[in-house]
Structure 1
């Protein structure tokens, strides 16, 4: 698998202190991961890398919009994305990324790849259910919404005397008989 070179940071040559990296994320970035759930992506990532004598701290600030399809109506809309990610990089005997906030690199490592963290932060910043804002406020006019409303199950009217269907009484008797 080829690597995204612009997302590899050689930290060995950096001085101790803070360093800024800016990335503009678009559809090509997600093509690398073969992720095609988005119609378009326009996200900026501000990465603050703080190099210390024995470790690195990375602060990702992600902000922008992702155009995707609504889960209900399949209409495209822009979903705002905003996320913060903090990662501590320490050095040890072997590579270990089991903890989502701590990365351990082997002692001889001289660079860090950040594209996977950016990818995961953007994807995880999206809501689980993708709902067009026009559905929530009632302003979206769509044939699909009209059809869904037409096919919605009709609620049965309650008897005028508020009587319960006698079949339910028989079922309740079964419960009482077991006591």
Structure 2
């Protein structure tokens, strides 16, 4: 986490009101978290920090893209990232981040590092299933897709056949009604 000092916000010296911080996130940021699923990344993060007398209101917004492999074809593509994370920071006797919307810092804290919040916001903005846009619109040409189409299970028309013993039982039911 020593590489993430630029994400420290010394809030003690800030005046009450709104402050804006901007960050450019690239792969070196994710390397600090030992995260290597992105081939490349280019994300702009804007942090609006509103300091009030008893609390802080933070709104993180991220916009950009990360290069990831497609889960279907393994082809690399740029996944758009657009995300927003609101956070309220209050003060208490000890650090507590149990609630995802409220962070409690100890009374003696004088700065906070926002890198973890930026990291989580970006990671959660990437879909669980990553599918190349050309796969979705049907224009992708790749060996993997051709092989998947070749191995696709074809629907076989089945004629419904019933067991003749059950047919006899069904006749008993209809005979009783008449």
Q: TM-score, normalised by structure 2?
A: 0.89
1:15-35 deviation per Cα after TM superposition (whole angstroms, max 9, x unaligned): 111111000000000000010
Partners of 2:150 and 2:161 in 1: CA distance: 27
Give the Cα–Cα distance (whole angstroms) in 1 for the partners of residues 161 and 25 of structure 2: 60
State the shift of 1:170 in Å. Answer: 7.2
The number of aligned residues is 168
C-alpha distance in structure 2 between counterparts of 1:46 and 1:171, whole Å: 72
Instruction: Verify: 1:54 aligned to 2:50, yes or no.
Output: no
In the TM superposition, 1:1-179 aligns within 5 A as 2=2, 4-158=4-158, 163-166=159-162, 169=163
Flag structure 1 segments of 5+ consecutive residues without an equivalent.
none
Between structures 1 and 2, the one with greater helix share = 2
Residue deviations 1:69-106 (CA, integer Å, cap 9, x gap): 11111111111100111000000011000001100001
CA distance 1:134–1:10, shift in 2 (3 Å): same
Measured at CA, do residues 172 and 90 of structure 1 come closer, stay the same or move farther in structure 2, by a change above 3 Å?
farther
CA distance in 2, matches of 1:34, 1:63: 22
Deviations 1:139-161 (A, max 9, x none): 11010000001011122233xxx
How far did residue 171 of structure 1 move? Answer: 10
DSSP-derived class of the 1:87 partner: strand
**CA 1:27–1:172: 2 relative to 1, 3 Å:** farther
Structure 2 residue runs without a partner (length 5+): 171-178
TM-score (structure 1 length as normaliser): 0.89
Structure 1 segments of 4+ aligned residues over 4 angstroms from their partners: 170-173
Cα displacement string for residues 14-73 of structure 1 (whole angstroms, at most 9, x for unaligned residues): 011111100000000000001011111000000010111111111101100111011111
Q: Which has the larger radius of gyration?
A: 2
